[in-house]
Amino acid sequence: MTSPTSTGTSTGRVAGKVCIVTGAGSGIGRAIAHRLAEEGGRVLCADLSADAAARTTAEITGAGGVAEAHAVDVSSSAAVDGMVAAAVVRWGRIDVLVNNAGVNLPGLLHEVPDDVIDRTLDVNVKGQLYGCRAVIPHMLAQGGGSIVNISSVNGLVSEPFLTVYSASKGASVMLTKGVALDYAKQGIRCNVICPGWVDTPINHAHAELLGGLEQVYDTIDSFQPIGRPGEPREIANVALFLASDEASFMTGSVVAVDGGMTSQ
């Protein structure tokens, strides 16, 4: 199995921009935080785990980037407001928000307890709503900004055991379209990425219901035509593009980064 690797080359695509990344402590969020920092962004690495946020921050600053850690539970509107306020106090503005934090708690719908439904919707839906709501006034005041929501291919198509997760990720897609329409003339862009199966721990519980991770990867070309899982950095590269001014004519776009999965 092969995947693209970093060349270590930076062109300053988000130089000086203040960026918030939720779920930055691991997986796709960690990779996005690194890419934004590599390209000159000042990154608030936010995560439910203070230790995980601190690790990502230390990696970025150790490589010469600019980052700070912030512990946040995105299911709390007050906590999200505090996260945004912390970035504004530190750097004076918000240019980029990446709503990446999410949970995947799979199961058959009739067996899913209320607490799993609540947690899934609180994090995956309300967390993104709260994030957008908190940054938009700052972006309006400064004349624009970029919001990147991380959904999933399961916001476009579903899979076994993922009814609740798919419902939450579909909401992310429609949230993106609504924000894009409401603020298109005020310079705020909002786009959404729908990753396919990416090699991150968030998928491990689902993999167990499908026969185990080894079984999933042995048969991955049956549902992901490229024939391998994605790497977090491959999603991060797309998030970087959407965050940057290179994507200035894109808003409300639903970008599937899925190795061909939704082309079938």
Residues with Cβ within 8 Å of 248's Cβ and at least 6 positions away in sequence, in order, are: 189
- Are 152 and 192 in contact by the 8 Å Cβ rule? The answer is no
Coil vs helix vs strand at 141: helix
Question: Which pair of tokens denotes residue 36?
Answer: 């934004």
Measured distance CA(138)–CA(201) in Å, rounded: 33
Query: Quick check: helix, strand or coil at residue 254?
Result: strand
Written as one letter, the residue type at 102 is G
Give 198's strand partners.
230
Would residue 165 show up in a list of annotated catalytic residues for this protein?
A: yes
In whole angstroms, give the CA distance from residue 102 to residue 235: 15
Distance CA 194, CA 217 (A): 20
Are 197 and 230 in contact, with CB atoms under 8 Å apart?
Answer: yes
Half-sphere CA count of 232, side-chain side, radius 13 A: 19
Catalytic residue among 130, 165, 183, 217: 165
Instruction: Give the integer Cα–Cα distance in Å for 3 and 26.
Output: 19
Q: Quote the radius of gyration of the chain (alpha carbons, Å).
A: 17
Exposure string (b/e) for 98-123, b if CB count within 10 Å is 16 or more? bbbbbbbbbbeeeebeeebbeebbbb
Please give the positions annotated as active site: 165
